[in-house]
Amino acid sequence: MILEIADFRIQPGQQAAFEAALKLGIATALSQSPGFIRASVQRGLESPERYVLLVEWQTLEDHMQGFRNGPLFAVWRSHIGGFFASPPSMEHFVALTQA
């Protein structure tokens, strides 16, 4: 399992609309991609325009080739891309331990 962590900074005052767009994007694009396991979103307390998306994928290729290079990525970005105050950052992680 691979964990994708994406960090989004959105325009001030757009939280409610962005959160609705995220839910729609997860339901209609992200979760429909082969290899998708689950996703969760966290909103910053000190920085309410900051969101962290955590997505579990079966493999790195499921995310990078299957999703990012496939047609569902354009659908995903069409829902959330207009809210960004700056380009999102994204990294992949692999678990070492679980408790």
Position 99 in a domain: no
pLDDT at 98: 77
d(CA 50, CA 89): 12
**Contact between residue 35 and residue 63 where contact means Cβ atoms under 8 Å apart:** yes
Parts of the chain with a pLDDT under 70: none
CATH number assigned to the domain comprising residue 25: 3.30.70.100
Position 98 in a domain: no
Give me the number of domains the chain comprises: 1
pLDDT at 26: 98
Position 11 in a domain: yes
Position 40 in a domain: yes
d(CA 49, CA 39): 19
d(CA 5, CA 56): 9
Position 87 in a domain: yes
The reported pTM is: 0.94
Position 86 in a domain: yes
Q: Name the residue range of residue 13's domain.
A: 2-93
pLDDT at 97: 85
pLDDT at 99: 78
Handedness of CA 35, 38, 43, 44 (dihedral sign): negative
**Contact between residue 57 and residue 2 where contact means Cβ atoms under 8 Å apart:** yes
Mean pLDDT of the chain: 97
